[in-house]
Amino acid sequence: MSPDTSSAQLIERDKKKVTPAIYRYTEIAFARGEGSFLYDFEGNRYYDFVAGIATMNVGHNHPQVVAAITEQAGILIHAAAHVGYMQPYVDILEKLISLAPAPLDRGKGILLNSGSEAVETAIKLARAVSGRSMVMAFMDSFHGRPMGALALTASSSGYRRHLAPLLSGVEHVPYPNCYRCPFGHTNHSRENCCGTWRSFIQMTLDKLVHPDDLAAIIVEPVLGEGGYIVPPDDFLQTLREVCDRTGALLIADEVQTGMGRTGKWYGVEHWNVSPDIIALGKAIGGGLPLGATLAHADLMDAWWPAAHGSTFGGNPIACRAGLASIAIIEEEKLLENATRVGDHIQLRFKTAQKNLPIIGDVRGKGLMVGVELVDKQSQPLTANQVKQIIKKLGAAGVVMIKCGQSALRIAPALSITQEIVDEAVDIILKVLKDFEKEL
């Protein structure tokens, strides 16, 4: 990195060579990161409420992660799991599996490069071992952008534009969103859900997907890209019952909810549900590319040799970074911090909501918090309005992105302190107050 580079120069070079398919929420050029902060090339500091899109769970440049990367780079950078055995590969799989809800804590796994790969691996495994072809997914879900994972993703038609046909054999049903019920019901809460989604699932099995053909149901325990929607408490339990009844496999996409993001190692733990397969990504690599698919041992053992693989999956440096991150989360009690600070964030916004009508809903688990923004008629702000707010936040010193139609996505490092949070929330509330005057 040139010491003479400016933010403006880098952005200009980027625009000349990088495809506009890479959408940028801000016009900030990041030079370095430290803890819960990012810095541009001019030295300006930004509160990081994105954490690399929920990947930097222990913050930027944690000394233990840096040390693990440095040490491993001097030992073995790469050799490929198909060629032989590598200790970091086994070490991190053992750890990830040990943290999983029983009986998955006695399962097996495979390492990949990303959450999207982990999702596609999960679908591939489910179809291969079940001999069935159909997969049930949910509206507003996000499972990745590659053509297989994209067939499961249903959070925006923009992701699918000009790309049909995608992977066949996928049926989508509504995800229960009690703030904006997909069935048009009003005045319902998570505790008083209309429950129509149950009938829709059954109707799909009666009319479209024969239970004998259903290989799997894939679900995000808390919707990520789709709006940080927390489902009713009986939702995952109902899906578990449907899978048990039909013989289908329950796949939990824990790419964003996993590794402590919700205050527990795995999001499904909030509802005491154990899936058959878990897809992981984002935070498990400590900031480096890493994905994993975990499953019951009998499912993994039913896969024949060479049925799947990955050249770089389980790269030793990524594994060591991930192991260091997990150790930090344990040592610094960051699950507890995520719950405590996440509850405080929700309280701050719910308190402000009383005098700030632009805040329509506040929801989440742990440090996975969504703040829904609405106009004077309580309708979602437009995409352009939300983009304007995010850019204003960036200019004010807070890095933020959206989720769903009009929600601010709050996903800082699990190590963030309440003091830092309060400073950033004060800025966010001022920007929202000023923007509300323009509506």
- 3-state SS class at 128: helix
**What is the token pair recorded at 122?**
């999960």
In this structure, the answer to whether residues 118 and 258 fall within a common structural domain is yes
In this structure, the answer to whether residues 294 and 403 fall within a common structural domain is no
Identify the residue whose tokens are 């050799």: 79
Decide which of 271, 306, 331 is a domain's last residue: 331
**Dist. CA 383–CA 281, nearest whole Å:** 27
Per the document, the length of the chain is 439
Is 438 buried (19+), middle (13-18) or exposed (0-12) by CB count in 10 A?
A: exposed
Which residue from 272, 241, 268, 271 is spatially nearest to 257, judged by alpha carbons? 268
Which of left, alpha, beta for 328 (phi over 0: left; psi -120 to 50: alpha)? Answer: alpha
Decide which of 331, 351, 372 is a domain's last residue: 331
Q: In sequence order, which residues have a C-beta less than 8 Å from that of residue 233 and are 6 or more positions away?
A: 190, 191, 271
Residue 234 lies in a domain: yes
In this structure, the answer to whether residues 178 and 248 fall within a common structural domain is yes
In this structure, the answer to whether residues 319 and 416 fall within a common structural domain is no
- Domain limits for position 393: 7-58+333-436
**Dist. CA 150–CA 169, nearest whole Å:** 13
- 3-state SS class at 431: helix
Residue 129 lies in a domain: yes
In this structure, the answer to whether residues 11 and 81 fall within a common structural domain is no
Residue 2 lies in a domain: no
- 8 A C-beta contact, residue 37 and residue 48: yes
Q: Report pLDDT for 3.
A: 67
In order of 151, 169, 171, 215, 242, the CA distances from 133 in angstroms are: 14, 6, 11, 6, 17
Show pLDDT as tens, one digit a residue, over the chain (439 residues): 666 899 999 999 999 999 999 999 999 999 999 999 999 999 999 999 999 999 999 999 999 999 999 999 999 999 999 999 999 999 999 999 999 999 999 999 999 999 999 999 999 999 999 999 999 999 999 999 999 999 999 999 999 999 999 999 999 999 999 899 888 888 767 888 888 999 999 999 999 999 999 999 999 999 999 999 999 999 999 999 999 999 999 999 999 999 999 999 999 999 999 999 999 999 999 999 999 999 999 999 999 999 999 999 999 999 999 999 999 999 999 999 999 999 999 999 999 999 999 999 999 999 999 999 999 999 999 999 999 999 999 999 999 999 999 999 999 999 999 999 999 999 999 999 999 998 8
- 3-state SS class at 273: coil
Residue 178 lies in a domain: yes
Q: Report pLDDT for 194.
A: 87
In this structure, the answer to whether residues 154 and 259 fall within a common structural domain is yes
Report which DSSP code applies to 60.
B
pTM attached to this predicted model: 0.96
| Alpha carbon distance, N-terminus to C-terminus of the chain | 43
**What is the token pair recorded at 30?**
């990041």
Q: What CATH code is carried by the domain that includes residue 127?
A: 3.40.640.10
Whether the ω angle into residue 165 lies within 30 degrees of 0, i.e. cis, is: yes
In this structure, the answer to whether residues 174 and 318 fall within a common structural domain is yes
Residue 1 lies in a domain: no
- 3-state SS class at 72: helix
Decide which of 331, 364, 385 is a domain's last residue: 331
How many domains, the chain?
A: 2
**Dist. CA 235–CA 226, nearest whole Å:** 17
**Dist. CA 250–CA 267, nearest whole Å:** 14
**Dist. CA 51–CA 54, nearest whole Å:** 5
Q: Any idea what the Cα angle at residue 273 is, between residues 269 and 278, rounded to 5°?
A: 80
Residue 51 lies in a domain: yes
In this structure, the answer to whether residues 240 and 95 fall within a common structural domain is yes
Which residue from 126, 141, 183 is spatially nearest to 308, judged by alpha carbons? 126
**Dist. CA 410–CA 367, nearest whole Å:** 7
In this structure, the answer to whether residues 297 and 413 fall within a common structural domain is no
In this structure, the answer to whether residues 373 and 282 fall within a common structural domain is no
**Dist. CA 396–CA 419, nearest whole Å:** 18
Q: In sequence order, which residues have a C-beta less than 8 Å from that of residue 9 and are 6 or more positions away?
A: none
Q: What CATH code is carried by the domain that includes residue 375?
A: 3.90.1150.10
Residue type, position 215, single letter: A
In this structure, the answer to whether residues 289 and 337 fall within a common structural domain is no
In this structure, the answer to whether residues 393 and 258 fall within a common structural domain is no
